[in-house]
Amino acid sequence: TTTDAITTVTDATTTDVTRTVSDNTITDATRVIDATTTNATTTVTDNATSDASTIVADTSSTGAATTIDPTSTTVDPRVAVAKPNQISLVKDLFHKNIYDSSIRPVKDVNDTTDVYMYVTLNQIRELEEKTQTLTCALWATFTWRDEFLTWNPADYNGIDELTIPSGNIWIPDMTLYNSVDGEKGFTEIWSATNVRISYKGDVEWMTIAQTQTTCILQLSEYPFDQQICSMKIGSWTYFAHEVDVIPTNNKANIGNFIKNEEWELIDTKLLQNYVQYTAGAFSDVTLSIHIKRKPNFYLFTLLFPCILLMVIAVAVFWLPAESGEKVSLGVTVLLALTVYQLLITENIPETSDYVPLLAQLFGASVVLLAFSTLSAVGVLNIHFYGCFGARVPKPLRRFLFGCCAKVLCLTPHISDFLQQIE
């Protein structure tokens, strides 16, 4: 008694092949014989099966008769029950469907591939003032839908997700537009990590990158400055109507951020932009990083020493003329400030657009010290000239020994001196 019994013979050269099915109840029974046989007889008897599958492959026999009892617990090595797994799924997706990783994964060429971007800022490694280059470590997650990578999990033993190398499928050519890394190309900054594919065709690519980008610095308030550096990430070849890059959040994730010793992270922003060129519009995402310099190092190594040198420079006016050290002290302090000024110019870019605040302080200090040294030379000249010179005019004496003396707290001594010279 047979219902829907199907017998299939493929790739076989047979002569006088006889099959006998008797005394059984079979529903959707399938026989696959891949053999070269002569007078081969296969008999299935006394069984009641549902969805039975018998596979006999690579046999060569003459006058052979094979009888298989499905109710037996003995496993015949010639009979294998193949369950679908990830290997068969990969073969069906990439070999059976002839998948091409160079083609954008849409069935309608007019459809847009939306690439969603999630950025995690891991570390600000360095901001080089001289070359105006920012080095960062990023974690980026890109997600999109591949219409050619879909399947029914029920057909593959419940498999609803697949992990494969990213080089096997189409991935968007995400490019760091303002990269200055000479060793890597624009599109080679991302690590070749694996991708995760869901049965609906949703692809998730989690990758890491060390970026080197241009950052135009504003150092007018150096070392109390704040900087805003940007990274522009988008497709290099696809127009916006083909690949649209969309940020999933308006700020970068800083949950795993490693603090920098020199810079403090203030804020981050993610903005989507559309830039129109002659050929068409392109979509990109701009990551803005707002950072603030930690000035303690510069306060103790540059600013405080400069203030101390300026205080020492005032001592030039307090030294007696007979000591002979007024000019030498002024020149020594002047040279020290010049050395500090050279240290500053080595760390900042050479530009005429602005002069850093610290450089302005050192420049003004050098000018004042030069003036004080020249004044000391004049004082020594007058002192050692003695009484051989002409008398100082009375109005000038009143100004110097009156107003200036009060400012310099020399009033008692100057009063006695004025009485003597009157």
Per residue in 329-365, pLDDT tens? 888 888 888 888 888 887 777 777 778 888 888 888 8
What is the separation of C-alpha 392 from the centre of its chain, rounded to a whole number of angstroms? 73
Asked if pLDDT for residue 269 goes beyond 90, the answer is yes
Task: Please compute the mean of the pLDDT values over residues 74-99 and round it to a whole number.
Answer: 68
pLDDT number for residue 417: 58
pLDDT number for residue 142: 96
Lowest mean pLDDT: which of 111-120, 199-208, 378-387? 378-387
Residues in Cβ contact with 418 at an 8 Å cutoff, skipping those fewer than 6 apart: 397, 401
Task: Please compute the mean of the pLDDT values over residues 265-272 and round it to a whole number.
Answer: 95
pLDDT number for residue 343: 82
Task: Please compute the mean of the pLDDT values over residues 29-41 and round it to a whole number.
Answer: 40
Asked if pLDDT for residue 63 goes beyond 50, the answer is no
CATH class of 91-294: mainly beta
pLDDT confidence of 84, banded at 50, 70, 90? low
pLDDT confidence of 29, banded at 50, 70, 90? very low
Which homologous superfamily is 297-389 in?
Neurotransmitter-gated ion-channel transmembrane domain (1.20.58.390)
Asked if pLDDT for residue 48 goes beyond 50, the answer is no
Asked if pLDDT for residue 262 goes beyond 70, the answer is yes
| Average per-residue pLDDT for the chain | 77
d(CA 214, CA 128): 10
Lowest mean pLDDT: which of 226-235, 304-313, 355-364, 383-392? 383-392
Q: Which long-range contacts (CB under 8 A, 24 or more apart) does 402-405 make?
A: none
Asked if pLDDT for residue 139 goes beyond 90, the answer is yes
User: In the chain, where are the structural domains located?
Assistant: 2-67, 91-294, 297-389
d(CA 2, CA 5): 6
* Of residues 322 and 44, more confidently modeled: 322
* Of residues 57 and 320, more confidently modeled: 320
pLDDT number for residue 17: 40
Gap between the terminal Cα atoms of the chain: 148
* Of residues 95 and 108, more confidently modeled: 108
pLDDT number for residue 379: 78
Task: Please compute the mean of the pLDDT values over residues 230-238 and round it to a whole number.
Answer: 93
pLDDT number for residue 103: 92
Task: Please compute the mean of the pLDDT values over residues 155-180 and round it to a whole number.
Answer: 90
pLDDT confidence of 53, banded at 50, 70, 90? very low
pLDDT number for residue 264: 94
pLDDT confidence of 99, banded at 50, 70, 90? confident
* Of residues 229 and 223, more confidently modeled: 229
pLDDT number for residue 42: 42
pLDDT confidence of 420, banded at 50, 70, 90? low
Residues in Cβ contact with 33 at an 8 Å cutoff, skipping those fewer than 6 apart: 8, 9, 10, 12, 42, 56
Asked if pLDDT for residue 10 goes beyond 70, the answer is no
pLDDT confidence of 421, banded at 50, 70, 90? low
Lowest mean pLDDT: which of 34-38, 326-330, 353-357? 34-38
pLDDT number for residue 410: 66
